[in-house]
Amino acid sequence: MTRIASPRPWAKLLFTVAALGALIFAVACGGSDDKPSSSSSSSSSSSSGSGNTTASGNDKGLINGYPACAPGGASGLTGAGATFPFPLYSKWNDQYDQACKVKINYQSIGSGGGIAQITAKTVDYGASDGTLTDAQEAAAVAAGGKILHVPMTSGAEAVVYNLPGIATGTLKLDGPTLADIYLGNIKKWDDAKIKALNSGVSLPSVDIAVARRSDGSGTTFIFTNYLSKVSPEWSTKVGFATSVNWPVGVGGQGNEGVAGVVKQTPGAIGYVELAYAKQTGLAWVQLKNKAGNFVQPTVEGTTAAAENVTLPDDMKYLLTDSPNAKAYPISGFTWVLAYVNQPDAAKGKALASYMWWAIHEGQKQAEALTYGPLSADATKKAEALIMQMQCGGSPCLSK
């Protein structure tokens, strides 16, 4: 695969990231006397009790038996991929740098770009909201050997709309009707199928402007996977992947791009990760789940989608259209993609420790940013995956 050379701008999220960055939180390893003075303010407010770190990254405390900061690890990492978890990853990267002096440059370019870059080995890790296809996995294996899908968190995709006078959560849709909108079968907001689901709501007789992703996207993977489960026509004609041949619609780059199209276009409908919907103030629909209940996108609904399911050891599991009565139907995991055999031992150690910190201490920040924390079972399986990583013939995660 070829490298996606340049990430798109993050302009629509910069003010949010800046605001989040201003909040100094306690992290897994607090300050110590030999830490540079620039980080001393964060150590004074530490409440995690995970231990102390030195400027060299040696951790005196442990998280589930392993140091948060890698002994002998690199001082910098590069990653690229999913926009879906970008608000959470931004916060984590800032916190981890404060704790362990490891600067992480994560490029929010979409899952397709993340898969391409980890396959091209131009980044230390990729990130995706969709599992690799057989062809993508074969290409990755050919480039660097076995590749892991390590779950970091889960999230909900809100179906957002721009209909002045119809407040958020007022509009109701079900899966087949949503699929018909994206197939181009339903073109007006006052279509009989939409009206049947929205008794008492005054729907305008205006065209539906469909917004969708223009880049390779794990958000698209989750969304189209859901549509494939609820619509035989969608499954047959379009299917699901990080990129599909869209029957209709205007494309936007990233979650922020789709949010921008919807916000600027009266009559528009789109799909974005819940954090983006909240940050941009977009209205979202109540969506009918598999149990027949209309539910709004929430952390609780995302968490419910992952309950009472058997998770495979490789953690390549799709949460869409869950039968749980409380589940929000367009939910999914997001993964870090990392090679088992790390090409750079120092970076591999830093990456393993960062992921270990993220699936433990990092989970404390998930709900505040509308992501679902990993369950105990998912965490155990993520731990086992990280422990498979090898650096120069030895486990990357070491005590």
What tens digit of pLDDT does each residue of 69-118 get?
A: 999 999 999 999 998 899 999 999 999 999 999 999 999 999 999 999 99
Measuring CA to CA, how many Å separate 218 from each of 241, 326, 358, 359?
A: 8, 24, 20, 20
pTM metric for this prediction: 0.79
pLDDT of residue 399: 80
pLDDT of residue 57: 40
pLDDT of residue 236: 98
Host H or E run for residue 119? helix 111-120
Mean pLDDT in each 10-residue stretch from start to end of the chain (399 residues)?
37 37 37 32 31 38 89 96 93 97 96 95 96 95 98 97 96 98 98 97 97 92 97 98 95 92 97 92 97 96 90 96 96 97 98 98 95 94 98 93
pLDDT of residue 8: 40
The CA-CA-CA angle for residues 332, 263, 193, to 5°, reads: 70
pLDDT of residue 98: 96
- Which of 164, 166, 172, 211 minimizes the C-alpha distance to 194? 172
